[in-house]
């Protein structure tokens, strides 16, 4: 299986972004997704900047994909999505049906937020040009195997295998509201929150992470112990979501396990030694997402 790196979900300053991707270029990652997917107002880097980073990664042997916004709700977002789809250099990850429409007739990746839960939906996207799909977060291994088998080998399958998944999306900005501002007057408050805003229950148990108009899990999803089932289900690519820290270590650990240079048990110990939790895998087993199944 190949490894991919999801687009960075948080708002990082341009210098940090460029430094991060320079390090990623030297990592054992196979595919890198680039671009702003969360909020159109986050414009630290423009399309030419992303293209330049993509060229640098390509020169280091990486496959580059440009990711579209998850929520397109205005003319400015439509124009930005159109420019992305017409970049002429890199494959597009369509995360909204407007991007599917604009990319129609050319190859694209169908993002997880397109909510692909049945064979007919996947068939329509394949006919529109999808050559890869990212599985919806909630799909368990049985449902994914059925979906995958219905269209193999006409499309690749990618699954989020590590990271804090986004659970909900909104046109409102939760980060702005946390300081009593509206979305239009946010003053880019999330730029000072490189890992989002942690939210705990009244019992002080980590629960969610606020990230602009998105709500992420506070718990890390981790499918390291499920690699054999992922392979059996027909998964081609394991996706890793960037963290504010330790992303390079996570990539190296997954690569070592896939190459059989490290056991799963040793990999879990290596993750926990860096302060990362064992994680959860409930969705993959048809359980609540925060469940840890053996």
Q: What is the pLDDT of residues 15-33, one digit of tens each?
A: 999 999 999 999 999 999 9
pLDDT of residue 179: 86
Measured distance CA(241)–CA(161) in Å, rounded? 8
Ranges 240-244, 257-261, 283-287, 289-293: which has the least confidence: 289-293
| Interval 234-267: pLDDT, tens | 999 999 999 988 999 999 999 999 999 999 999 9
The secondary structure of 41-96 as a DSSP string is T--SS-HHHHHHHHHHHHHTT-EEEEEPPS---SHHHHHHHHHHHT-SSSEEEE-S
Bridge-based pairing state of the strands 63-67 and 214-217: unpaired
Fill in the DSSP letter of residue 135.
P
CATH class of the domain comprising 2-165+219-285: alpha beta
Measured distance CA(198)–CA(19) in Å, rounded? 25
User: Partners of 71 in the beta sheet?
Assistant: none
**Average pLDDT value over all residues in the chain:** 94
Q: Residue 234 is encoded by which pair of tokens?
A: 């027909």
How many Cα atoms sit within 13 Å of 154 on the Cβ side?
Answer: 14
Residue 277 vs residues 10, 52, 217, 258: alpha-carbon distances, Å: 20, 35, 13, 20
Measured distance CA(205)–CA(143) in Å, rounded? 31
Cross-sheet strand order for the sheet of 166-169: 166-169, 214-217, 206-211, 197-200
Residue from 157, 160, 185, 156 nearest 173 by CA: 185
Q: Residue 172 is encoded by which pair of tokens?
A: 């409102």
pLDDT of residue 282: 95
pLDDT of residue 242: 96
| Interval 150-160: pLDDT, tens | 988 889 999 99
| Interval 79-132: pLDDT, tens | 999 999 999 999 999 999 999 999 988 999 999 999 999 999 999 999 999 999
The DSSP H or E segment spanning 247 is helix 247-258
Measured distance CA(25)–CA(32) in Å, rounded? 9
Confidence of residue 183 (pLDDT cuts 50, 70, 90): confident
**Can you give the residue ranges of every domain in the chain?**
2-165+219-285
pLDDT at 225 over 90: yes
The reported pTM is 0.96
* Higher per-residue confidence, 56 vs 206: 56
């Amino acid at each position: 299986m190949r490894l991919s790196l999801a687009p960075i979900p948080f708002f990082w300053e341009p210098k940090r972004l460029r430094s991060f991707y320079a390090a990623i270029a030297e990592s054992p990652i196979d595919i890198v997704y680039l671009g702003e997917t969360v909020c159109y107002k986050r414009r630290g880097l423009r399309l030419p900047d992303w293209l330049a980073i993509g060229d640098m990664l390509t020169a280091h042997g990486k496959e580059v994909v440009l990711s579209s916004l998850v929520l397109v709700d205005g003319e400015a977002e439509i124009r930005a999505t159109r420019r992305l789809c017409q970049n002429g250099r890199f494959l597009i990850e369509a995360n909204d049906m407007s991007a599917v429409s604009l990319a129609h007739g050319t190859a694209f990746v169908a993002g997880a937020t397109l909510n692909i839960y049945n064979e007919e939906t996947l068939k329509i996207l394949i006919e529109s040009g999808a050559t890869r799909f990212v599985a919806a977060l909630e799909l368990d291994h049985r449902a994914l195997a059925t979906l995958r088998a219905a269209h193999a080998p006409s499309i690749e399958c990618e699954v989020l295998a590590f990271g804090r998944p986004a659970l909900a999306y909104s046109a409102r900005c939760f980060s702005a509201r946390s300081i009593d501002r509206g979305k239009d007057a946010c003053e880019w408050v999330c730029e000072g929150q490189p890992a989002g805003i942690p939210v705990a229950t009244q019992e002080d148990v980590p629960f969610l992470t606020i990230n602009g108009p998105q709500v992420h899990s506070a718990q890390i999803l981790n499918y390291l112990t499920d690699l054999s089932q992922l392979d059996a289900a027909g998964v081609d690519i394991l996706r890793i979501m960037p963290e504010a820290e330790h992303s390079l270590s996570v990539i190296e650990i997954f690569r070592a396990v896939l190459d059989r240079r490290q056991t799963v048990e040793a990999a879990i110990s290596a993750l926990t030694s860096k302060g990362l939790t064992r994680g959860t895998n409930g969705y993959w087993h048809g359980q609540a997402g925060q469940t840890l199944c053996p």
